């Protein structure tokens, strides 16, 4: 517990602190980039892209070893990941636009094929008996253990850059996601805006591989946006809230992972995000489940059948009664009239 608090407050050592800051910035930009994908209803394309990073990571490792390097340069591995992720994205686009396959089928095909290829390459690398490949499995589920300072800085810089670009593009992105036809006539290049959104997601995905892992990064893109939707009806605010939720998830998740180095970081980050989602689903004002139930109860009629009939009888007996103005659907007439008059109304009802 102490260790968790220390990690949360960045007191658990310089490296752990850097990782936490990096993860927070990553979560921030993932939440923001994911917001656009969720609003555009294309969030699963990001999942295909994430899985397509695996063969890239493995190939980059092989190339770096072949050239006599150590094979563990994070930047090199991430460049490989970005290359195959871009190929995966391109494959999804081609399958959707040039064949009769619907987009979900294209996503499924690209996701499974690229992930399968990546796993094969990973097995090959393990069989090569090179001592230093152990780090590669960390890309599947994320790991903060053994992260170097330079690695953390790479992640933090990537997250910060992506966050700034998204902020600058937030208005055209919102217009495109809301009303594509209007956007096109208003001079917004829909294709380029979509492409920019995809590239940002690609960038965030690749930057997040080391911490969250490729299997779960899509959750960090989607969950903050859908959780934030419970809190606001405005796209700009949604973006900020989603970024905040992503940032907190990254921060708290990596702090948890610092206390239990045997647990992979990715699932912890995602579980924190899921916790925030659950809390939003239940307790957000207005759209949350509790608030909705309360509103429904308030709207429901609370008069008994008997009391309702008394109001109707009153309207018949005395249409000009000043009491009728007080009929709000919940005040029983018996609270406003003396017993004998109520008895008189009841006789009319029969």
Partner 1 sequence: MNALGRFPETLIPLDESPLAVHGLSAGYGGKPAVMDVDMTVIPGTLMAIVGPNGAGKSTLLKAVLGLVPRLAGEVAVFGEPFARARHRVAYVPQRASVDWDFPVRVIDVALMGLHRELGLLGRIRPHHRARAEAALERTGTLELADRQIGQLSGGQQQRVFLARALAQGADLVLLDEPFAGVDAATEAAIVRVLKSLRTEGRSVVCVHHDLGTVAEYFDRVLLLNRRPIDEGPTDLVLTDRNLQATYGGRLSARHLALVR
Q: Which residues bind partner 1 (CB under 8 A)?
A: 39, 41, 168-169, 171-172, 174-175, 177-182, 184-188, 229, 232-235, 237-238
- Tokens linked to 45: 């394309």
Nearest approach, Cβ of residue 238 and partner 1 (Å): 5
- CB of 233 or CB of 340, closer to partner 1: 233
- CB of 230 or CB of 311, closer to partner 1: 230
- Tokens linked to 222: 């989607």
d(CA 327, CA 310): 11
Nearest approach, Cβ of residue 181 and partner 1 (Å): 5
Nearest approach, Cβ of residue 184 and partner 1 (Å): 6
The residues, any chain, with a CB within 8 Å of residue 18's CB and separated by 6 or more, are 149, 152, 153, 156
Nearest approach, Cβ of residue 57 and partner 1 (Å): 34
d(CA 317, CA 324): 11
- Tokens linked to 79: 């460049």
- CB of 212 or CB of 222, closer to partner 1: 222
| CA dist 82 → 34, 105, 190 (Å) | 17, 22, 23
- CB of 97 or CB of 149, closer to partner 1: 97
Q: Do the beta carbons of residue 220 and residue 270 sit within 8 Å?
A: yes
- CB of 83 or CB of 226, closer to partner 1: 226
Nearest approach, Cβ of residue 171 and partner 1 (Å): 6
- Tokens linked to 134: 């152990």
């Amino acid at each position: 517990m102490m260790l968790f608090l220390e990690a949360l407050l960045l007191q658990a050592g310089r490296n752990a602190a850097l990782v936490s800051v990096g993860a927070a910035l990553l979560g921030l930009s993932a939440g923001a980039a994911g917001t656009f994908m969720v609003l555009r209803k294309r969030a699963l394309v990001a999942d295909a892209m994430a899985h397509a990073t695996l063969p890239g990571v493995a190939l980059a490792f092989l190339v770096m070893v072949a050239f006599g390097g150590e094979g563990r340069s994070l930047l090199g591995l991430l460049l490989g990941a970005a290359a195959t992720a871009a190929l995966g994205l391109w494959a999804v686009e081609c399958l959707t636009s040039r064949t009769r396959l619907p987009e979900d089928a294209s996503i499924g095909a690209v996701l499974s094929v690229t992930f399968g290829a990546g796993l094969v390459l990973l097995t090959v690398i393990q069989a090569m008996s090179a001592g230093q490949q152990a780090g590669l499995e960390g890309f599947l589920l994320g790991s903060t253990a053994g992260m170097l300072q330079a690695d953390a800085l790479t992640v933090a810089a990537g997250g910060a850059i992506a966050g700034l670009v998204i902020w600058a593009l937030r208005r055209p992105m919102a217009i495109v996601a809301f009303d594509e036809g209007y956007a096109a006539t208003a001079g917004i290049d829909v294709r380029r805006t979509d492409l920019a959104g995809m590239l940002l997601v690609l960038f965030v995905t690749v930057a997040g591989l080391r911490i969250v892992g490729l299997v779960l990064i899509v959750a960090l893109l989607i969950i903050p946006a859908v959780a934030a939707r419970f809190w606001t009806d405005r796209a700009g605010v949604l973006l900020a809230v989603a970024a905040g939720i992503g940032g907190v998830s990254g921060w708290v998740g990596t702090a948890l992972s610092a206390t239990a180095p045997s647990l992979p970081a990715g699932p912890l980050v995602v579980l924190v995000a899921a916790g925030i989602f659950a809390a939003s689903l239940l307790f957000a004002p207005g759209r949350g489940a509790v608030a909705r139930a309360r509103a429904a109860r308030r709207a429901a009629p609370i008069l008994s059948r008997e009391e309702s009939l008394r109001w109707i009888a009153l309207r018949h007996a005395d249409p000009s009664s000043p009491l009728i103005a007080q009929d709000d659907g919940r005040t029983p007439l018996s609270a406003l009239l003396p017993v004998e008059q109520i008895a008189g109304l009841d006789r009319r009802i029969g």
